[in-house]
Amino acid sequence: MQVSGYRDGPAIRVAGLGKRFGDRVAFEDVSFEVGYGEVFGFLGPNGAGKTTTVRTLGTLVVPSSGSATVAGLPLTPDNGVEIRRRIAIMPESPGLYLRLSVAENLECFADLYEVPDGPGRIDRALQAVDLTRRAQDVCGALSKGLRQRVALARALLSDPEVLFLDEPTAGLDPVATLDVYELIDGLRRRGVTIFLTTHRLEEAERLCDRVAILNTTLRAVGPPAQLRDRLFAKTLTVRTVVPLADPDALFTGLPTVEGWRRDGSAGYVLIVSDPAHAAPSVTRALVAAGADVLSIGESRHSLEDVYLQLIDQRSESGTP
């Protein structure tokens, strides 16, 4: 079923989606939207339900509850074929025919996708992952990293609107990983929506416009910076050569400084509402007080901090 003008809405819309296998809950009550051309990171610990969510959105698994729209089409059994025509999924395991060559593997999938100009598409996909020279190699003889690249080439064959990548850099060396990052950036520029499942938080922070953190239920959705701001107070870290005589008198009352605490003998963490405004006034106050300042800097929380905080919250709440 072709829906005209479907690109007006989000590429993926998920509302209260859930999947149970008997008594076991894979994921439940998951809701989010992913816009066209967005790189959306999907994070979570092992067993959080990430892969099952991807399989559900990819029409391989039937949801137990909720609804979804994928590539402009409602996620229903009738739309399965058309949805799969518009998307591509690179699963966690490359899943290649090991007795066939790289080119033969891609030929098979080009035929299954019924892509026009199969040989041309295969050449472009191989170029994109820098595997042109290995086209005739038997997949069984390739390293894990090279197999991963073949699987990525396979996912690119159909020129998908929405591309699900499950751990695309697992097993890749640093150079190949950077190549994949560049490839994802290139796909983003072409307007391809990328749903990236990863354990590498630095990868998500680098590539993703927004991330979702899942641990059976959705813990948070948003841009990494926004999640940081939501979870952690903005802080300035001040270090002096010797401890300040009366830090409370010095820091209390300064503009945008909301509180402070010690961090070691001559270190101070200031909770601020606006680091850009607070830093100059703190510097001036320290100089005026005759303090020998070693450093003043904004404390940066990584996505890993956000992730761990959210997963910890989950554990503390006692939810499975």
Q: Which is nearer to other proteins, 62 or 225 (CB)?
A: 62
- Binder among 1, 65, 78, 112 for other proteins (CB under 8 A): 112
100 forms part of the interface with other proteins (CB under 8 A)? yes
User: Candidates 60-68, 174-182, 213-221, 244-252 — which segment interacts with other proteins by CB under 8 A?
Assistant: 60-68
- Least Å distance, CB 147 to other proteins, is 10
Q: Which is nearer to other proteins, 115 or 311 (CB)?
A: 115
Residue labelled with tokens 């100059």: 280
52 forms part of the interface with other proteins (CB under 8 A)? yes
From residue 126 to residue 165, the character string flagging contacts with other proteins as x (rule: CB under 8 A) and all else as - is -------------------------x--x---x-------
- Binder among 1, 47, 65, 111 for other proteins (CB under 8 A): 111
- Binder among 29, 33, 104, 263 for other proteins (CB under 8 A): 104
Q: Which residues contact 141 (CB under 8 A, 6 or more apart)?
A: none
61 forms part of the interface with other proteins (CB under 8 A)? yes
- Least Å distance, CB 142 to other proteins, is 14
Q: Considering only residues 7-46, where is the footprint of other proteins by CB under 8 A?
A: 21-22
Burial code (b: 16+ CB inside 10 Å, e: under 16) for 264-294 equals eebebbbbbeebeebbeebeebbeeeebeee
